[in-house]
């Protein structure tokens, strides 16, 4: 399983941060005909992105194309089990993508609407944020 992780990072560890507002960039379909739109906010890990990508490519084997519009560039640290408080921040556990409502997560093209809708719905079930199916131009 090829997880998405950054090649290099300027700073190894990051603050948790806040996720106010709605997405102002990446909120329109640019490449495909159909998309998966986030309706809630949260973090999506690289494992979840990979699981959703597999669900989409399973359906597009008949001749479609998939675009991943998000990238997990935020490191999340975690301390090991049975470790006492203090002695610094934990090691990097995973990388996540910060998702705000209105952001397009995946796009799909070259398929009939019914097939694309089912593929997008299955991919949405793999993610930890609320999603909905959208069509370009609507």
The residues with which 137 forms a beta bridge, in sequence order, are none
Domains along the chain with CATH numbers: 34-77+90-135 (3.90.1170.10)
Is residue 100 predicted with pLDDT exceeding 90?
Answer: yes
pLDDT tens column, 31-73: 999 999 999 999 999 999 999 999 999 988 878 899 999 999 9
Measured CA to CA, the distance from residue 16 to residue 127 in angstroms comes to 20
CA distances from 12 to 19, 42, 87, 96, 98 (A): 20, 21, 17, 14, 17
Q: What is the pTM of this model?
A: 0.91
């Amino acid at each position: 399983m090829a997880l998405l992780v950054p090649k290099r990072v300027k700073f190894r560890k990051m603050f948790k941060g806040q996720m106010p507002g709605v997405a102002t960039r990446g909120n329109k379909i640019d490449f495909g005909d159909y998309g998966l739109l986030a309706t809630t906010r949260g973090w999506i890990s690289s494992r979840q992105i990979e699981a959703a990508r597999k669900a989409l490519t399973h359906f597009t084997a008949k001749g479609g194309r998939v675009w991943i519009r998000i990238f997990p560039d935020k490191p999340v640290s975690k301390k090991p089990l049975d470790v006492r408080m203090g002695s610094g921040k934990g090691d990097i556990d995973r990388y996540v993508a910060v998702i705000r409502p209105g952001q397009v997560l995946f796009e799909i093209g070259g398929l009939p609407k019914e097939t694309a809708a089912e593929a997008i719905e299955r991919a949405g079930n793999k993610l930890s944020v609320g999603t909905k199916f959208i069509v370009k131009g609507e």
